[in-house]
Structure 1
Amino acid sequence: MADSQEEDLQKFLKNVDEITSLIQEMNSDDPVVREKAVLETEKRLQFTEENQEEDECRTTVNKTRISPPQAPAKNADETNSEAFLASMEKDAKERAKRRRENKVLADALKEKGNEAFVRGDYETAILRYSEGLEKLKDMKVLYTNRAQAYIKLGDYQKALVDCDWALKCDEKCTKAYFHMGKAHLALKNYSVSRECYQKILEINPQLQTQVKDYLNQVNLQEKADLQEKEAQESLDSGKNTAVTAKNLLETLSKPDQIPLFYAGGIEVLTEMMKDSTERTLFRTHNGFRIISENEVLRRCFSTAGKDAVEETVCVSVLRLWQAVCSENEENQRLLVMHPSSGQLLPSLLASRVPTIRQQSLALLLQLAQTENGRSLIIGHLDLTRLLEALVSFLDFSDKKASSAMGLLTGLAQDERFQVWFQASLPGALPALTGVLKRDPRVTDTSALCQCIAIMGNLSAEAATRRQMSASEEFGDACLDLLAKCEEDVDLFREVIYTLLGLLMNLCLQSPVVSEVWAVQVSRKCLSLLNGQDGGILTVSFSQGNPETASFVVLAVWFEYQCTLPF
């Protein structure tokens, strides 16, 4: 009996210690500690209520006991303790109720802050997020959202403070580490920025692709920062080419000169872009802005039918861009991410002036040599217009056509391009259908094969294949081109191989969209199988998916048989 009482006493004292600790934490200056104490109190209350309900469900079996023992009278300490616990329970319930009410208010303020952020009104967004935090101090999303708004305003130190608070709420908050990495990058704390991004990978390995991009941004900016320091040192030391490049840019910034004045200055400047110092000085002395904001140069770019002078200006600028972007990723970024470049570069690539088209292609080929350059192209240029411009190079019979298709092939292998293509296929399909309608006798055979191969590779994706198969015009163009190539199998053998690979993928679409089209495909396949060049069909299919190549012919034949009357 004494042991039982001792055990009860120790249990009671332990509860008092825990409750006292919770009270101290609820009075803490740290809001996160306070909120955690409230949550712990709610858990204890829920546990207590469950135990009380369990006790109330118990019944006494023997109710006829004579002279039952009387409960001992409660002493003052026990009474005070029960009163204290009752007071704690009431206080905790009130706190829990207020927390639920504040959560609703904080969520509403967060949504208002998000609306302001989308409008670009970052000051109002910060105000709403701050009001939300007054309602609920441990709502991590309000800290990370406010940090993002601070970054937009360039207040990186305040962003870092908010990220720290978000991590106090949740030590595995990847969004906090992302904004923290971005803020440190802006402050040129490159090592710390890398650590933040690497922490994201430790928390969530599935974000490896995104983290790789973040770390690449850090490396590129650190490299650009070093280039700018070295370039400034060269300028301060009086290096001739550095000083001349700076003076030339100042001369080119003069407004309202004749076009040939700018063309001549740009040609001289281009010849000076021999190493990293001059290319970096072009950037640091606003070279891109001087070119893009010059009204005379802009008129030369925008004129539809360019005369000899306008052509000279455009070509000189394109050559300058190639020179300043050579082995300089930061210059590439500034060029491609300029607001006007998204439309301008594809339009120059589609120009009716051959030299402008050639120089535009050379610039894009240079950019696409690196993964970073391809990412810039895919992320910031008008890809529909770019696709149309690139396939238009099939008009050329020289290596420019193959170069353009090589560029398109490299872009099409990128997952981001494939995502764009699938989402934008209705707008991109007319250009590809136009390729299939071309006369193979007046088109570069190698470039045509490359373009059809791109379509075949993209059609391997089920969603893309479904949209292609749904286009009657696209399907008919495939068959018409096959018929043209059959007129001279020896000359167009490679085109037939590639085209049949595309048809193979389209035939994998189930159910077949058009029975008539399926019959025509079957007849073409049977014609090739029965002819002296029947091996073409086998070779073509063997170049496709090995799991499907063995039965595609039978599948096409089966579709054909299904359309016949019994």
Structure 2
Amino acid sequence: MNLTNTLKKLYIDKQPIIYYIGGIDLLCQLIKDETTRTAFRINNGFNLFNSHSIIIENDNENLSESIFNLMIILCQDDDENTKQCLECKFFNNYLRKNIYSIKAFQFLIEISLKNQSRLIFIEKIIPNSFIQYLINIINDKKFNRIYAAKLLSNLAIESKIKQYFSNKDELIKLIAILKSSSIDEETRTVILSLLTNLCSEKHIRFCAVNQTELFQILIEDLGQYENEYELNLLGLLINLTNEQSSTLEGLYKNLCEKILTKFKNSSHHQRIFTLLGNIAMYYEQAINILIEYNIISWISQILQQNINEEMIRAGIRLLALCTQSNVQGQQTVANDTKRKIFN
């Protein structure tokens, strides 16, 4: 069975739902690359989503799952197909239900990774209501909260979504989710990414850096998780420490010590050095802590092993901050240089 014949058979009217599910599942198998994705479009495949009454008006969960699975395949590296999926009647009818299946979330997560399709989707929703819907799912352990968290994180790049969290109370509610013991590591990891995206906006970042509880949560989590969580945690801390705050002034010592003891074997040296550089830039006394923990030797050792340009830039910046006005730092560099010459 080829793609054209399958499309024709799907237009046969008054068949049981399982007939259409089977046909759409077959299309998912036939559409494998750019050529077949284009063939679907030029053979009026999108009419299925716009004029096929059974498809566009259906309430069958299995049929909707099959359609979204097909849409995910159609949208892979294809902006025109993505646009047509977002504009079709089936999708717009589905949005009005306000209860989304896992496959629908997977589709939305995929399209929200791209600028154009993300903006098209945001124009179709009422942002505040949709954000609250996603937050409710994240808070409800009965649901697959990871999908709602990923979608919200992707959408949070856009100003219309950031506006919601410009309200300090809503930002605090989001931060409170990190405290919940029922939140799994994967969802916590995505929430860190969500907060990082939100805090790229100066007003939200200013509100966040003055939340003692947020810093306490993040400092406590240092060294507790690995891999992506650690990477996102460092990313959020880098974002937050771009602002000087009275809150961090009382916590930077604990933060520095935790990083320097828990992250010695971490592979994320660039982010660690960038974070410590932000702290050293605003809090001069932090430099003494860094030197006490042999930061200069650590930087020197890592720079000898790593030729990544951004890594080198972060290390040299931190080294400069530790030595430009700190006598002990300057002496440590001098001693380190002597050892290299005479050994």
Q: What TM-score, normalized by structure 2, do the two folds share?
A: 0.56
The letter for the 1-side match of 2:87 is M
1:524 equivalent in alignment to 2:251: yes
Partners of 1:285 and 1:501 lie apart in 2 by 45
Superposed, which structure 2 residues align to 1:196-345 within 5 Å? Answer: 241=2, 243-251=4-12, 254=13, 258-274=16-32, 275-276=36-37, 278-281=39-42, 283=44, 286-291=47-52, 293-294=53-54, 298=57, 300=59, 310-338=60-88, 341=91, 344=94
Identity %: 14
Superposed, which structure 2 residues align to 1:92-131 within 5 Å? Answer: none
Partners of 1:344 and 1:476 lie apart in 2 by 41
Deviations 1:202-232 (CA, angstroms, capped at 9, x unpaired)? xxxxxxxxxxxxxxxxxxxxxxxxxxxxxxx
1:223 aligns with none
The letter for the 1-side match of 2:6 is A
Superposed, which structure 2 residues align to 1:431-510 within 5 Å? Answer: 433-434=173-174, 436-439=176-179, 443-445=183-185, 448-466=188-206, 468=208, 475=211, 477-479=213-215, 481-482=217-218, 485=220, 489-492=222-225, 494=230, 497-498=234-235, 500-501=237-238, 503-505=240-242, 507-508=243-244
CA contact (8 A) 1:409 1:454 kept: yes
Deviation at 1:325, TM superposition (A): 3.4
The letter for the 1-side match of 2:108 is L
Deviations 1:493-552 (CA, angstroms, capped at 9, x unpaired)? 8376455445434x53xxx7xxxxx46x544334445x6766679x97853595x54343
2:338 aligns with none
The letter for the 2-side match of 1:241 is N
CA contact (8 A) 1:409 1:450 kept: yes
Gaps of 5+ in 1: 1-239, 301-309, 513-517, 557-566
1:367 equivalent in alignment to 2:117: no
1:134 aligns with none
Gaps of 5+ in 2: 264-268, 287-343
2:159 aligns with 419
> Do the aligned partners of residues 283 and 543 (structure 1) sit closer, same or farther apart at CA in structure 2, a change above 3 Å counting?
farther
1:552 aligns with 282
CA contact (8 A) 2:137 2:145 kept: no
> Do the aligned partners of residues 440 and 552 (structure 1) sit closer, same or farther apart at CA in structure 2, a change above 3 Å counting?
farther
> Do the aligned partners of residues 379 and 277 (structure 1) sit closer, same or farther apart at CA in structure 2, a change above 3 Å counting?
same
- Residue 313 of structure 1: SS of its match in structure 2? helix
Deviations 1:31-63 (CA, angstroms, capped at 9, x unpaired)? xxxxxxxxxxxxxxxxxxxxxxxxxxxxxxxxx
- Residue 316 of structure 1: SS of its match in structure 2? helix
CA contact (8 A) 2:72 2:107 kept: yes
- Residue 224 of structure 2: SS of its match in structure 1? coil
CA contact (8 A) 1:324 1:331 kept: yes
CA RMSD of aligned residues (A): 4.9
Q: What TM-score, normalized by structure 1, do the two folds share?
A: 0.37
Higher helix fraction: Structure 1 or Structure 2? Answer: 1
Partners of 1:321 and 1:241 lie apart in 2 by 18
- Residue 44 of structure 2: SS of its match in structure 1? helix
1:38 aligns with none
Superposed, which structure 2 residues align to 1:78-227 within 5 Å? Answer: none
- Residue 550 of structure 1: SS of its match in structure 2? helix
The letter for the 2-side match of 1:524 is L
- Residue 543 of structure 1: SS of its match in structure 2? helix
Which is greater in Rg?
A: 1
> Do the aligned partners of residues 269 and 528 (structure 1) sit closer, same or farther apart at CA in structure 2, a change above 3 Å counting?
closer
The letter for the 1-side match of 2:63 is V
Deviations 1:405-427 (CA, angstroms, capped at 9, x unpaired)? 4x666655xxxx43323434357
The letter for the 1-side match of 2:217 is L
2:274 aligns with 543
Deviation at 1:390, TM superposition (A): 8.6
Partners of 2:61 and 2:140 lie apart in 1 by 21
Q: RCO (CA 8 Å, sep 6+): is it higher in 1 or 2?
A: 2
> Do the aligned partners of residues 555 and 343 (structure 1) sit closer, same or farther apart at CA in structure 2, a change above 3 Å counting?
farther
